[in-house]
Chains A and B, each alone.
Chain A
């Protein structure tokens, strides 16, 4: 901005400029589609089972009795609460953060991949987003389960409401912003 200002200080005839436009990198988009399709396949097939097992082990470390089970809809985590009752926690797509990760992937794919920049950088940021999303889902679900263990099933609903999809978008947007800034920085370096 300051550079713009200085240049506008100079005397002389008006400088008529064109707003900068790009040509969409369709090949990058196709590569991104392929990579994200592969990532989604892995996530949607394996992630819920992995997450269920990881949380079960975490609870085991904390000496909380929990077991895995399968329902027709989703993997179930059966947790013995402090009052002696059982809590059946179905790890649905949403509860596991998979829907949020899908939205993140779509946003990333259609907003970042067509831009100028290294395809490897874009793929790296996309995958980093999936890793952060998966980690956050594990943390969020662990917190929810621990709160449910100590305060009951009602507290689980409140926790899920407060830390649900809304907080998912904090990481999604942060990763997206950082990815975009990286692309802009790389472009700036090339230009200068």
Chain B
């Protein structure tokens, strides 16, 4: 019995150590690697494919107007631009606001979904938008986003490479100062994009499509059969489907967009629960195809495996705590002490799901952010919450498998638009 506990504990510690080293390499890459992006060529700089912007919106009257107004200000040639707002059976003024823009600008189009179709998740909404899209490239924005004016040029430049199927830009939190929660989310975002995604792109690993502030070749997504409506995280699902199909994803750090982050723990819980559950769905769906794929290099497979596993990490750390307590009190040994000491390193390595603490620190440093770095120890709270969220997500997923249900509730994040109003 004791031996099994020891072996399990050491195994979990080894997995954590592997993640730790991986993120240390990411941090060093983001800091020091000089051969990174952007690799814009003259051709890339002048490349202007036709673009369809998809904006799924459900009861987003507080924010959608600002985004649509901002899109009219984009520097991308308007004759190559098409904007499709998909009103997902909104009961507020979202549809009317979008219609107003469609009347004023001929490259705007509004798709209204009926009450019976609405609220069934972003995948279904995007699929409806895709049916209307005519552009070679499709870029997605959530309704609460606020892009830089030259964001499309920066994103589409990477499509010059025919191997690139998807591009992803950087997301920065706009309402960072609103609450403690939004500040902590901002820290996670900084590390996740400025360090993690950038390093993955630099190292030729698997940058992740975030579902918004990113785009894809329309023919590829059509070839893949659109977004899978059964998946809660259509972005992660698409990431792996694109790689398995032999294409790659590029992350464009220079293309920035501002989002409204969740402002309270309840909204944080709902959002992360959906992410965790969807990510776990992807784990079970793509693990074997990923390992067997002939289209991916070994390092991509390894990175993909670690990426798929990322929402299990908080559970593993929690489990190691439990095992550690049992060993500490019931089967103490002299060699256990130093390993036990290492445990907090792994705990802190897992604060935030995509970002270890030193990645957060390196991200804030590279962004020349100063005082927000003081909040890094507080990420412990979101870590504890993430552990609970991931456990619940796993249990929910297991339960739905047992009862044979493929229906998953799609918890929408509400946006107040408070920060966007100031623009």
Q: Which of B31, B176, B376 contacts A21 (CB 8 A)?
A: B31
Q: Which residues of A contact B27 (CB under 8 A)?
A: 111
Q: Kindly state the separation between the CA atoms of A176 and B373 in the bound complex, as whole angstroms.
A: 10
Q: Which of B31, B366, B377 contacts A174 (CB 8 A)?
A: B377
Interface SS of A by simple majority: helix
B153's nearest neighbour on chain A, judged by CB, is A14
- Which residues of B, 29-48, contact A by the 8 Å Cβ criterion? 30-34, 36-38, 40, 45
Q: Kindly state the separation between the CA atoms of A5 and B342 in the bound complex, as whole angstroms.
A: 42
Residue among A18, A21, A24, A185 with most chain B CB within 10 A: A21
- Which residues of B, 338-362, contact A by the 8 Å Cβ criterion? 338, 340-345, 347-348, 357-358, 361-362
Given contact pairs A21-B31, A181-B370, A165 touches B365 in the complex (Cβ within 8 A): no
Q: Is A9 part of the contact surface with B, judged by Cβ < 8 Å?
A: yes
Indicate if the CB atoms of A11 and B75 lie closer than 8 Å: yes
Q: Is B149 part of the contact surface with A, judged by Cβ < 8 Å?
A: yes
Indicate if the CB atoms of A107 and B358 lie closer than 8 Å: yes
Q: Which residues of A contact B338 (CB under 8 A)?
A: 93-94, 99
Q: Is B364 part of the contact surface with A, judged by Cβ < 8 Å?
A: yes
Indicate if the CB atoms of A8 and B33 lie closer than 8 Å: no
Indicate if the CB atoms of A161 and B329 lie closer than 8 Å: yes
Indicate if the CB atoms of A177 and B347 lie closer than 8 Å: no
Given contact pairs A178-B374, A188-B370, A157 touches B328 in the complex (Cβ within 8 A): yes
Q: Is B292 part of the contact surface with A, judged by Cβ < 8 Å?
A: no
Indicate if the CB atoms of A183 and B365 lie closer than 8 Å: yes
Q: Which residues of A contact B376 (CB under 8 A)?
A: 173, 176-177
Interface residues on A, range: 35 or more
Q: Which residues of A contact B368 (CB under 8 A)?
A: 184, 187-188, 191
Q: Kindly state the separation between the CA atoms of A166 and B198 in the bound complex, as whole angstroms.
A: 31
Question: Chain B nearest CB: distance from A29 CB in Å?
Answer: 12
Question: Chain A nearest CB: distance from B252 CB in Å?
Answer: 10
Indicate if the CB atoms of B377 and A23 lie closer than 8 Å: no
Indicate if the CB atoms of B377 and A170 lie closer than 8 Å: yes
Indicate if the CB atoms of B374 and A181 lie closer than 8 Å: yes
B360's nearest neighbour on chain A, judged by CB, is A177
Stretch from B126-134, B253-261, B267-275 that touches the partner: B253-261
Q: Is B50 part of the contact surface with A, judged by Cβ < 8 Å?
A: no
Q: Kindly state the separation between the CA atoms of A1 and B190 in the bound complex, as whole angstroms.
A: 11
- Which residues of B, 372-394, contact A by the 8 Å Cβ criterion? 373-377, 380
Q: Which residues of B contact A1 (CB under 8 A)?
A: 172-174, 176, 258
Indicate if the CB atoms of B45 and A173 lie closer than 8 Å: no
Q: Which residues of B contact A110 (CB under 8 A)?
A: 24
Indicate if the CB atoms of B75 and A14 lie closer than 8 Å: yes
Q: 1/0 per residue B4-37: CB within 8 Å of A? A: 0000000000000000000010010011111011
Q: Kindly state the separation between the CA atoms of A72 and B37 in the bound complex, as whole angstroms.
A: 57
Q: Which residues of B contact A19 (CB under 8 A)?
A: 30, 36-37, 194, 198, 253-254, 366
Q: Which residues of B contact A100 (CB under 8 A)?
A: 341, 344
Interface SS of B by simple majority: helix
B40's nearest neighbour on chain A, judged by CB, is A16
Q: Which residues of A contact B377 (CB under 8 A)?
A: 170, 173-174, 177
Q: Is A168 part of the contact surface with B, judged by Cβ < 8 Å?
A: yes
Q: Is B148 part of the contact surface with A, judged by Cβ < 8 Å?
A: yes
Indicate if the CB atoms of A115 and B365 lie closer than 8 Å: yes
Q: 1/0 per residue A42-53: CB within 8 Å of B? A: 000000000000
Question: Chain B nearest CB: distance from A186 CB in Å?
Answer: 9
Indicate if the CB atoms of A18 and B38 lie closer than 8 Å: yes
Question: Chain B nearest CB: distance from A25 CB in Å?
Answer: 10
Q: Which residues of A contact B347 (CB under 8 A)?
A: 166, 169
Q: Which of B30, B176, B329 contacts A157 (CB 8 A)?
A: B329
Q: Is B154 part of the contact surface with A, judged by Cβ < 8 Å?
A: yes
Given contact pairs A16-B254, A22-B32, A184 touches B365 in the complex (Cβ within 8 A): yes
Indicate if the CB atoms of B361 and A177 lie closer than 8 Å: yes
Q: Which of B30, B172, B253, B361 contacts A180 (CB 8 A)?
A: B361
Indicate if the CB atoms of B341 and A99 lie closer than 8 Å: yes
Indicate if the CB atoms of A23 and B341 lie closer than 8 Å: no
A4's nearest neighbour on chain B, judged by CB, is B256
Q: Is B298 part of the contact surface with A, judged by Cβ < 8 Å?
A: no
Q: Kindly state the separation between the CA atoms of A20 and B368 in the bound complex, as whole angstroms.
A: 10
Indicate if the CB atoms of A173 and B154 lie closer than 8 Å: no
Q: Which residues of A contact B371 (CB under 8 A)?
A: 181
Q: Is A61 part of the contact surface with B, judged by Cβ < 8 Å?
A: no
Q: Which residues of A contact B344 (CB under 8 A)?
A: 100, 165-166, 168-169
A8's nearest neighbour on chain B, judged by CB, is B148
Q: Is B325 part of the contact surface with A, judged by Cβ < 8 Å?
A: yes
**9 closest Cβ contacts across the A-B interface?**
A14-B150, A181-B373, A8-B148, A169-B344, A177-B376, A165-B341, A185-B370, A14-B153, A99-B341
| New contact pairs (17) apart from A8-B256, A164-B340, A170-B377, CB-CB < 8 Å | A1-B172, A1-B176, A14-B75, A17-B38, A19-B30, A19-B194, A19-B366, A21-B36, A93-B338, A111-B358, A161-B328, A164-B341, A169-B344, A169-B347, A181-B364, A181-B373, A188-B368
13 A–B contacts from the bound complex (CB under 8 Å)? A1-B173, A1-B258, A11-B149, A17-B254, A18-B37, A21-B33, A94-B340, A99-B341, A161-B328, A166-B347, A177-B373, A180-B364, A184-B368
